[in-house]
Amino acid sequence: MTQENYANFARQQNASETQVAGRYAIQVLPEKRIVADLLHKLAIEPEDTLLEIGCGPGSLALPLSYLVTETSVVDHQDVLARLKSRGGAKDIRLYPGDFADVTINQQFSKILLYSVLHYLPDFDSIAKFVRKAFDLLLPEGRMVLGDLPNEDKKRRFLASAKGKTFIEEWNLAVAGSDQDFHAKHTISTPNTFGFHDKAVFQLAELVRSWGAETYVLPQPPNLPFGHTREDLVIIKR
């Protein structure tokens, strides 16, 4: 189970926050650019109430929490313990557990799911998960389904001249870095979903049918997986 894998990451004191969030140690600087991108995509305002589902060690929720009125997060209790151990977490409301089972009696003006949905087993589970999140969104609220690893986008990028150069440089950089850590602790993937063009647009269309505008937006290429991932922005009516 994916949450258990992340709880194992979180329990390792020698793992960096970047690794606990499922990224490579070499992505520590690109990771810092995600928040600026999300400020626009979520249209963050001081009066916002924010929920992050699958928050990891809080590398996004913590900086965002300074810019809004109230922040709540959902993740495995051991992952939340890691978030709690970082400075500035005292006012964040914690909901430990699998989001599918957690009860939240509140609606939010902004909801973030970043790098989470592809850990679910199939499209139906994703649709159910997103529907539960959508019901927690206030009218006119915004939700970002971010960092969707679209395999078609990745294939197109890797087939390009730029992609070929990139992958050579990437393999060299990772080989000299934390490849062993990731190989040892890698998320077991047999039960996870492979996003592709059709699923991304199917999800956008599904959310529109619930009464929202949805937009598929690119990531700046200098984000951790900016060449191969994309974001779905949802604006509820």
Ligand X SMILES: C[S@@+](CC[C@H](N)C(=O)[O-])C[C@H]1O[C@@H](n2cnc3c(N)ncnc32)[C@H](O)[C@@H]1O
Binding site for ligand X (CB under 6 A): 2-3, 6, 21-22, 53-56, 59-60, 74-76, 79, 98-100, 114-116, 119
Distances, alpha carbon 30 to alpha carbons 17, 22, 24, 222, 223, in Å: 13, 13, 10, 6, 5
Q: Between 156 and 192, name the residue whose CB sits nearer to ligand X.
A: 192
Distances, alpha carbon 163 to alpha carbons 159, 174, 227, in Å: 6, 16, 8
Looking up tokens 């520590």 gives 28
Q: Between 53 and 130, name the residue whose CB sits nearer to ligand X.
A: 53
Work out the angle between the directed axes of helices 151-159 and 161-175 (0-180°, nearest 10). Answer: 100
What's the rounded Cα separation, in Å, for the pair 117 and 138?
Answer: 21
Q: Between 44 and 53, name the residue whose CB sits nearer to ligand X.
A: 53
Minimum gap (Å) between residue 18 Cβ and ligand X: 9
Minimum gap (Å) between residue 165 Cβ and ligand X: 26
Minimum gap (Å) between residue 119 Cβ and ligand X: 5
* Residue 170, Cβ density class (10 Å: 0-12 exposed, 13-18 middle, ≥19 buried): middle
Q: Between 32 and 156, name the residue whose CB sits nearer to ligand X.
A: 32
Q: Between 118 and 153, name the residue whose CB sits nearer to ligand X.
A: 118
What's the rounded Cα separation, in Å, for the pair 10 and 5?
Answer: 9
Minimum gap (Å) between residue 21 Cβ and ligand X: 4
What's the rounded Cα separation, in Å, for the pair 43 and 26?
Answer: 29
Q: Between 68 and 116, name the residue whose CB sits nearer to ligand X.
A: 116
Supply 5's token pair. 């894998």
Looking up tokens 């699958």 gives 54
If residue 150 lies in a helix (H) or strand (E), which one and from where to where?
A: none
Minimum gap (Å) between residue 122 Cβ and ligand X: 13
Minimum gap (Å) between residue 98 Cβ and ligand X: 4
Q: Between 79 and 212, name the residue whose CB sits nearer to ligand X.
A: 79
Q: SS3 for 227?
A: coil
What's the rounded Cα separation, in Å, for the pair 201 and 147?
Answer: 15
- Cα 158 vs. chain centroid, distance in angstroms? 23
Minimum gap (Å) between residue 28 Cβ and ligand X: 12
